[in-house]
Structure 1
């Protein structure tokens, strides 16, 4: 490609290359490429269209339209950080995948084997900025330190529902001519906590703390997950929907205690009209505790990027619960987790305990939860008044006393969490799901059965199922 083209540029640096054994470096590079591809998929970016420039200790991704910097700075970064966290679990330091990443955009040109253009130069300069390297020194170290130009911050992050602008702070970066310019750094795994009596210092001179503790201007970086602001939902005439590349999402796994399958399929009416799937679902296994954590979000058709936002909300809720499990907290902060959403949602956790398997569930709105025991279905009792709250479509729900519903699970039980589309499809007869629940199937077969079972449907169907292992 010799012609000039407007592209988004993602520059990703692998630190400490010289200190890693070659076999570890090969592992890190492969895991990073896989994580980048997965994050592109989650953000709706066509990985096959991305042009890759490999510089050994860094990678440059040139992303053409229709992908936008809003997608890359929002869902992509969120998904990449989550993917790196998953890959880093239980790995030694040499095999940990931790990166610095910069985002720019503008006119680029390929000259032989080299890429030219101001966005490439700016990305390289930001990638090696001293302030971004400082972010890497905080302990415990986050998997991703992210920096953007001031222009990207203003046009792709401020006001975007896919990014948390308050998790960025301004830094000063030197230009080649010696002049200073402003850029913005985000460390998604950290929050800034001012001291009781902080010094009054200009924001653009903020220096991150080294090895934890307070920075030069009295701002302490604390190893806590960022509390994302709840998404605001306003009911209005829907604009032209952003088309999701995912008509169907399915996954699952099995442990000695239970088997998990979940799927989300686009309603036939919406798909035939060329509209996107609206629901979002996320689930993750916590290896240390043996718990499975999940969140199912009923998307809002009035939202332009509903499928992206619902998926992001589900991931944020799961990440918040996982962070409490990582910290070995005595109690899960369900209120903090569920305040990630102002949409219909069920979040929960199933965990082995000394008393057997226990399920913790919290619910917002009109999703459905069933327990199948001995071939008989029963609705998990409605949550008490202080355990649920009405959906508020103009802002975040008020959850002053949110506590979970705790339910014990017995041998051969099946726990089911379904969206309103599943609830409406089965009506008052959940036995219509029997063919799907006889035994755990392959995830794609589970999704196929969910799509074809219980007749035709217009609304999305999203279902999470957990089979408790039989004693024999």
Structure 2
């Protein structure tokens, strides 16, 4: 009988000092039941997408569900990729539900506007639609009409969402965010990460409170620009953004190397689940490449 060659199992990626090793526990049946990890990957004629989301060590240990979420679809008529990333606030009792609902609501609100021939980057309207969706979801969970404070206590979440539209020189990107999740343009050749939104720190002070949906900010944080061939758009929760920092360390070097070209979706999830002491939050990363750079 012919024997097949044994394929070695992937070893977990360790950066610097690893976190504690333990067998993850299943999440309790409350506040949503997303899988421990998920990933996605596909290409259109203009763009290649990869995304992954993994449960952090803290939630694995304390039997809590992954509270991050991501969603992406293609608007067929225009070739526009519509995407969202969200991080349910730890203070919310159904944070996993809130992040998933915010992503779904934002993506489909943009998609509906594109269907109607309206600008997909009517982001203040999209934020209001997402906040209303969270209100309806909270009402369904509570089986009664909730007040604003009840909605926040149940399903509060950050949200980064936007569009990538094919352009003459690359991808025309439009983004907005509510809360402290982030976005960067990565130049893999130089291992440089250009943040598209302000970081958590302001001088010597570091913000600890996060204002997320369902609160609608008076002034929405937005960014737009062209993603050139050879560069990568990264949209992520702070579970990735905090260990990344300014991108000059080991985490930045690891992802610059492996995101130079689109990796297999499962490999991205494996990389994202790296072990490093003190960094134990959920991690979600969505990446976009102009199609000319796809392999």
TM-score (norm 1): 0.44
2:67 corresponds to: 278
* Pairing partner for 2:55 from 244, 266, 282: 266
The 3 A distance-change label for structure 1 pair 318 and 471 is: closer
Q: Return the alpha-carbon distance in structure 2 between the equivalents of residues 432 and 301 of structure 1.
A: 28
* Pairing partner for 2:36 from 243, 247, 260: 247
2:288 corresponds to: 466
* Pairing partner for 2:194 from 357, 378, 383: 378
The 3 A distance-change label for structure 1 pair 395 and 413 is: closer
Instruction: Note the alpha carbon deviations across 1:245-281, whole angstroms, 9 max, x for none.
Output: 4111211211222210011100012112211101111
The 3 A distance-change label for structure 1 pair 361 and 313 is: same
Instruction: Note the alpha carbon deviations across 1:407-461, whole angstroms, 9 max, x for none.
Output: 1111121000110110112223233422431321221221111112666731000
Mapping for residues 66-215 of structure 1, pairs under 5 Å: none
**Structure 2: which 5+ runs fail to align?**
1-27, 132-155, 200-208
2:292 alignment partner, SS class? coil
1:447 is aligned to 2:261: no
1:361 is aligned to 2:171: no
Is residue 345–residue 364 contact of structure 1 (8 Å, CA) maintained in 2? yes
Is residue 294–residue 348 contact of structure 1 (8 Å, CA) maintained in 2? yes
Q: Return the alpha-carbon distance in structure 1 between the equivalents of residues 211 and 186 of structure 2.
A: 31
Q: Return the alpha-carbon distance in structure 2 between the equivalents of residues 331 and 438 of structure 1.
A: 29
Q: Which has the higher contact order (CA 8 A, sep 6+)?
A: 2
* Pairing partner for 1:302 from 79, 91, 97: 91
Instruction: Note the alpha carbon deviations across 1:378-430, whole angstroms, 9 max, x for none.
Output: 112549xxxxxx9546952233x547421111112100011011011222323
Q: Return the alpha-carbon distance in structure 2 between the equivalents of residues 366 and 267 of structure 1.
A: 17
Is residue 370–residue 380 contact of structure 1 (8 Å, CA) maintained in 2? yes
**Structure 1: which 5+ runs fail to align?**
1-238, 384-389
2:60 alignment partner, SS class? helix
Is residue 48–residue 262 contact of structure 2 (8 Å, CA) maintained in 1? yes
1:433 is aligned to 2:255: yes
The 3 A distance-change label for structure 1 pair 442 and 346 is: same
1:424 corresponds to: 242
Q: Return the alpha-carbon distance in structure 2 between the equivalents of residues 440 and 290 of structure 1.
A: 19
Q: Return the alpha-carbon distance in structure 1 between the equivalents of residues 83 and 53 of structure 2.
A: 13
Report which of the two structures shows the higher radius of gyration computed on alpha carbons: 1
* Pairing partner for 1:398 from 192, 213, 217: 217
1:350 CA displacement? 0.5
TM-score (norm 2): 0.69
Q: Return the alpha-carbon distance in structure 1 between the equivalents of residues 290 and 213 of structure 2.
A: 39
Q: Return the alpha-carbon distance in structure 1 between the equivalents of residues 278 and 260 of structure 2.
A: 21
2:164 corresponds to: 350
Q: Return the alpha-carbon distance in structure 1 between the equivalents of residues 213 and 270 of structure 2.
A: 36
Q: Return the alpha-carbon distance in structure 1 between the equivalents of residues 266 and 65 of structure 2.
A: 19
Q: Return the alpha-carbon distance in structure 1 between the equivalents of residues 69 and 213 of structure 2.
A: 20
What's the RMSD between the two structures over aligned residues?
2.8
Is residue 51–residue 287 contact of structure 2 (8 Å, CA) maintained in 1? yes
1:289 corresponds to: 78
The 3 A distance-change label for structure 1 pair 295 and 395 is: closer
Q: Return the alpha-carbon distance in structure 2 between the equivalents of residues 433 and 455 of structure 1.
A: 18
Q: Return the alpha-carbon distance in structure 1 between the equivalents of residues 284 and 58 of structure 2.
A: 15
